[in-house]
Amino acid sequence: MRIICFIFACLCVVNGMAQQGREKRPIFVSGGNFKNSGWFFSPGIASMTPMPRKEQLTGYDNQAVPDTLYSGEFSRDGGLGLYLEAGRHHFLDIRGPFDHIDYGLSYKMLRGSDEFQGLVRSDTGSYVPYAAHASFNDSYLGAFGNVSNMLQLSNRFWIQNSLGLNVDFRLFGQRGGDQVMGSEWLFPATLPVQAHYKLGFGWKPEPGIFIMPMIETPILNFNAWEGAKATLPYFTGRYRPILFTIRIQWLSRVPERTCEGQPGRQVDLEKQGKHDGNDLFGPDAKKMKRKKKGGLFHFLKRS
């Protein structure tokens, strides 16, 4: 949470600096050749950061006179997994704190390991050296939505801050290894629900195309609720998912506008009942022309 507050403070400074100088063109202007909506696709990686990476723990039994079951150091390591997302996005025309929304589906692979080095109590009551190793590899299918604020740096570059919600469903995975006797293993819910924060740096290489490197991390768990926690439990420790992506998004083009009955368009002139063949003026215009000729001849004759 301290890191997120620090990021917000830095962004406020950057935003103040960005407001100085000449006026910038908005990243999106309505009424042009593009709609305010389109599609996006984001490939990336999911990294699991242990919190903490190393921890000295001692376990006790539940008897009236507690006795030590194990004592040693747990070392945790996070792995890298595949992350993909795709969906729709919209620029907002209304003025407010948010300029952009997006939503879609995602796939992510979360990987990590948990190791133990220490002493455990044997059946004879003595303590012997013991080493254990456990690992996990989970795959999730999720749905998400984000609201974003864009801090414009120039006509083509901006910083994007997003708050969102993700709901994930565990598809399959592998969780296993050696459990230290007396230790408690915990795992995330089958359907984790989290609020998350996403920071991106945007680049507009050409109209209608946007490219953004982005980083995302959860800021609060809703399911399962464990107080103000944003990390996921695995084995004896907790891990923070951090997602690194490259978002490629584009806007849909506005359909070409056609004017009914205009020359040069694919218009059925005979169906309109106003024109014959290649007659550009039509019968009404011919009547007016004849009236003008008759009026001029009659005037000359009288003179």
298 within a domain of the structure (yes/no): no
- Buried b / exposed e along 26-56 (16+ C-beta atoms within 10 A): ebbeeeeebbbebebebebebbbbbbeeeee
Q: What is the pLDDT of residues 242-283, one digit of tens each?
A: 999 999 999 999 987 666 555 544 444 444 444 444 443 444
Identify whether 65 is part of a domain: no
- Average pLDDT, integer, range 37-44: 97
Instruction: Using DSSP bridges, classify how beta strands 127-152 and 157-177 pair: parallel, antiparallel or unpaired.
Output: antiparallel
Within a domain: 5 = no
Instruction: Tell me if 238 is assigned to some domain.
Output: yes
Cβ–Cβ under 8 Å, residues 42 and 85: yes
Residue 222 resides in a domain? yes
Rounded to the nearest 10°, the torsion over CA 19, 23, 26, 32 is: 170
Q: Would residue 10 count as lying in a domain?
A: no
Beta-carbon contacts of residue 14 (< 8 Å; ≥ 6 apart)? 151, 153, 159
Tally of domains within the chain? 1
Total Cβ atoms within 10 A of residue 155: 12
Predicted confidence (pLDDT) per residue in 100-141, tens digit: 999 999 999 999 999 999 999 888 888 899 999 999 999 999
Q: How confident is the model at residue 296 (pLDDT cuts 50, 70, 90)?
A: very low
CATH of the domain at 98: 2.40.160.20
Q: Residue 41 half-sphere exposure, CB side, CA atoms within 13 Å? A: 1
Reply yes or no on whether the pLDDT at 19 is more than 60: no
Q: For residue 225, what are the domain limits?
A: 35-53+79-114+135-253
243 belongs to a structural domain:
yes
Q: Enter the tokens of residue 166.
A: 């993700």
Question: Around Cβ 206, how many Cβ atoms within 10 Å?
Answer: 8
Q: Is residue 179 a part of any domain in this protein?
A: yes
Give me the DSSP letters along 134-163.
EEEEEEEEEEEEEEEEEEE-SSSEEEEEEE
Both tokens of 63, joined, read 């008897």
